[in-house]
Structure 1
Amino acid sequence: MASPGNFATYPSLRDRVVVVTGGASGIGEAIVEAFAKQGARVVFLDIQDEKAAQLIERVGSVGAPSPVYHHCDLTDIATLEGVMSQVMAHFSTIDVLVNNAGNDARHSIEDVTAEYWDRSMAVNLKHQFFMAKAVIPAMKSASRGSIINMGSISWVIPSTDVPVYVTAKAAIVGMTRALAHQLGPDNIRVNCVMPGAILTERQRQLWFTEAYKAEILAGQALKRMLAPEEVARLILFLASDDSSAITNQSYIIDGGWV
């Protein structure tokens, strides 16, 4: 886990409207909570209703503004667009988009069918583009915005047990660069965050064995596990005005693995 310490407050994030996908658990949960504690107005999309309710209750218990939750299957683009229309009708603007949602289910090359490929791309790549498309008009109108796409170091290492996921995560870097150049004239910044092995509850439950831990620590320069909150703090910076000159970049946060 991260060492205790005092972390930055960003006045520019207060009252900003922030949309986070996959915000009910894992890294997304940490992102939602971190923005709420900065005084931002947070909207998060997910399909995990129970976890979303628990998160809202926890955030409210510390006195931060309560996040707004929308149940949304991000692989259904029509549903996504409908939910984003509701968000726009309520808030009238969107200042920050964090494209966090994804699924790193393990799979072999032999097991990948055309249907599996399409499902994996839908949950790991396709929605990021259409979420960006949905918020761009509001950001253009405000002449500012920050879009942060969640990538991964998996394609750099590379990981060998998630070939379709790795392909999607590599593509996110290219999409980030294309959007950054196209949207830069409108003062909309687009960056990518590429985490390494982050110890989420999902990782604990599904894959975190002593052997996997040893592999991680052997690769990292920092000999400790990394926490979701550490990724969230990087995202806060990229969303804030403190990073106003930063766009078209991909930031690795992996304890020095890559």
Structure 2
Amino acid sequence: MPEFALYPSLQGKTVFITGGASGIGAEMVTAFAAQGAKVGFVDFDADTAEALVAATDGTVAFEFCDLRDIDALRTAFAKLADRLGPATALVNNAARDDRHGWQDVTPEYWDERFSTNLRHMFFAMQAVVPGMIEAGGGSIINLGSNSWWEKVPGMPAYTAAKSAVHGLTRSSAKEFGAHRIRVNAVVPGWVMTERQKELWATPEKLEDHLKGQCLPDLIEPVYLARMVLFLASDDSAMCTASNFMVDGGSI
């Protein structure tokens, strides 16, 4: 494992992370906690979330929340702010890349996928931006996906929602920039979370996937967390409205 940077500006910073209980989100929670940040996260997997809190010796805060329920999101963020103070960094990480055939998509499923993968990002920003304005600035990091760039089939509602993340990111960067609030997108390639390994990462698919990458190594969640740390820190003070690819050169 390489030696990674410490960011003094993250010491004591309040960071909210959506979907922080497992996978990439859990890696982010752990990484921010290691930087001395005050970390709060939301998730609807309470058992896994509580295990993560225990693994970090209770140094992070968790609130249960199904992000498809916007009132619940607002309540959870308000509780985290009461415990940790207003967030000056937000990581909109939560999403689910469930596969689905185009023939089977109903209007109800389409709407549910957008609620799962896009809608909550806007309302999470809406919830934290007033506090960032009062603080004199902040950083918002939205997790996109390179799936739509790669023209991945078999999940049209997911790729449509994830492509919209980039439009939301760029327009929000202009919307909030006068308040020194930066908004960027981090764009993962195929990241080897436990979920991916269990459901889809067969040896044959991995071999075929690596043929499309410039780098010969699989992407581990830690590398997404490292990019997010940079974008939340003062080291990236003049970075906004941009896509930061962590995809091994797949595009």
TM-score by length of 2: 0.98
Structure 2 counterpart of 1:72: 65
The DSSP-based 3-state class of the residue aligned with 2:21 is coil
Q: Measure, in 2, the Cα distance between the counterparts of 1:81 and 1:58.
A: 26
User: Which residue, out of 99, 107, 110, partners 2:103?
Assistant: 110
Residue 29 in structure 1 maps to residue 26 in structure 2: yes
User: Which residue, out of 240, 245, 256, partners 2:249?
Assistant: 256
Shift of 1:87: 2.0
Q: Measure, in 1, the Cα distance between the counterparts of 2:81 and 2:92.
A: 17
The DSSP-based 3-state class of the residue aligned with 1:202 is helix
Structure 2 counterpart of 1:9: 6
Contact 2:38–2:84 (CA under 8 A) maintained in structure 1: no
Structure 2 counterpart of 1:181: 174
Q: Once superposed, what is the RMSD of the aligned Cα atoms?
A: 0.9
**1:234 is aligned with what amino acid?**
M
Change over 3 Å in CA distance of 1:59–1:89 after alignment to 2: closer
User: Which residue, out of 88, 100, 120, partners 1:95?
Assistant: 88
Aligned length: 251
Residue 124 in structure 1 maps to residue 117 in structure 2: yes
Structure 1 runs (4+) deviating above 3 angstroms are: none
Structure 2 counterpart of 1:216: 209
Structure 2 counterpart of 1:135: 128
Structure 1 counterpart of 2:231: 238
Q: Measure, in 2, the Cα distance between the counterparts of 1:90 and 1:197.
A: 35
Q: Measure, in 2, the Cα distance between the counterparts of 1:111 and 1:220.
A: 31
**1:175 is aligned with what amino acid?**
L
Structure 2 counterpart of 1:163: 156
Residue 200 in structure 1 maps to residue 193 in structure 2: yes
**2:235 is aligned with what amino acid?**
D
Q: Measure, in 2, the Cα distance between the counterparts of 1:115 and 1:245.
A: 41
- Per-residue CA deviation, residues 42-71 of structure 1 (Å, 9 max, x unaligned), is 0000011111122122222xxxx7110000
Q: Measure, in 1, the Cα distance between the counterparts of 2:245 and 2:101.
A: 26
User: Which residue, out of 75, 82, 88, partners 1:82?
Assistant: 75
**1:91 is aligned with what amino acid?**
L
The DSSP-based 3-state class of the residue aligned with 2:67 is coil
Q: Measure, in 2, the Cα distance between the counterparts of 1:215 and 1:197.
A: 12
The DSSP-based 3-state class of the residue aligned with 2:147 is helix
- Per-residue CA deviation, residues 113-156 of structure 1 (Å, 9 max, x unaligned), is 00000100000000000000000100000111000000000110
Shift of 1:89: 2.6
Q: Measure, in 2, the Cα distance between the counterparts of 1:90 and 1:53.
A: 16
The DSSP-based 3-state class of the residue aligned with 1:39 is coil
Q: Measure, in 1, the Cα distance between the counterparts of 2:60 and 2:130.
A: 23
The DSSP-based 3-state class of the residue aligned with 1:256 is coil
Structure 1 counterpart of 2:53: 56
Q: Measure, in 1, the Cα distance between the counterparts of 2:55 and 2:92.
A: 22
The DSSP-based 3-state class of the residue aligned with 2:154 is coil
Contact 2:219–2:248 (CA under 8 A) maintained in structure 1: yes
**1:127 is aligned with what amino acid?**
H
Structure 1 counterpart of 2:16: 19
Structure 1 residue runs of 5 or longer lacking an equivalent are none
